[in-house]
């Protein structure tokens, strides 16, 4: 796994200011490009930290007002926090969170979804960037296709609005990943 001891700029300055704005432990459950790039090493630009959960909830308004798109920290650093409200993630993702940059911040704890949960969080949207992220994770970790499929079946499928469509998407993804693993794909 690719890791920095501290995040590169402008992330470190941005996160340091969030950390300084609170006086209690603050946990951000992170997904998306921020995790794929800063934790797993994909070289692609991202300008936001997609968060599923901000805890404790009483800090939500304060932190989001400060760091959301258009907020003071966003204007200063040209990056922002983005509350993700539509992503569906595996049921027990909290049990598998990994802290990014442990010990760097006094109060702030950036928690990343594990690579399987992160990949599955991209299933419904399934745009090219999501497929590229999943391919990258599959090569870098590497992802085990059986584990990915099992986690989908056990923890995600029942939550989906259109599970038959996502069954097909997962099938196409697993074929793509299998081709990549066996040398038959891009």
Mean pLDDT of 49-57: 97
Over residues 74-132, the pLDDT tens digits come to 999 999 999 998 889 999 999 999 999 999 999 999 999 999 999 999 999 999 999 99
Local confidence band at 4 (pLDDT 50, 70, 90 cut-offs):
low
Local confidence band at 183 (pLDDT 50, 70, 90 cut-offs):
confident
Over residues 145-158, the pLDDT tens digits come to 999 999 999 999 99
Residue ranges of the domains in the chain? Answer: 11-115, 119-182
* Closest alpha carbon to 145 in 168, 174, 186, 167: 174
Whether 186 has a pLDDT exceeding 70, the answer reads: no
C-beta separation of 148 from 120 below 8 A: yes
Q: Locate tokens 């999943």: which residue?
A: 134
Mean pLDDT of 24-40: 96
Model confidence pTM above 0.85: yes
């Amino acid at each position: 796994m690719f890791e920095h001891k501290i995040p590169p700029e402008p992330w470190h300055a941005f996160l340091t200011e969030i950390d300084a704005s609170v006086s209690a432990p603050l946990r951000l459950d992170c997904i998306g490009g921020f995790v794929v790039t800063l934790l797993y090493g994909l070289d692609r630009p991202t300008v936001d930290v997609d968060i599923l959960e901000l805890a404790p909830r009483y800090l939500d308004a304060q932190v989001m007002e400060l760091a959301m798109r258009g907020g003071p920290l966003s204007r200063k650093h040209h990056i922002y926090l983005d509350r993700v409200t539509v992503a569906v993630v595996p049921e027990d993702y909290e049990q598998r969170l990994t802290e990014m940059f442990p010990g760097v911040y006094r109060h702030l704890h950036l928690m990343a979804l594990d690579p399987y949960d992160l990949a599955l969080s991209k299933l419904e949207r399934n745009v090219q960037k999501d497929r590229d992220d999943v391919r990258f994770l599959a090569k870098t970790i590497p992802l085990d296709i059986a584990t990915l499929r099992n986690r989908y079946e056990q923890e995600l499928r029942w939550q989906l609005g259109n599970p038959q469509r996502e069954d097909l998407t997962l099938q196409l993804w697993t074929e793509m990943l299998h081709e990549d693993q066996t040398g038959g794909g891009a």
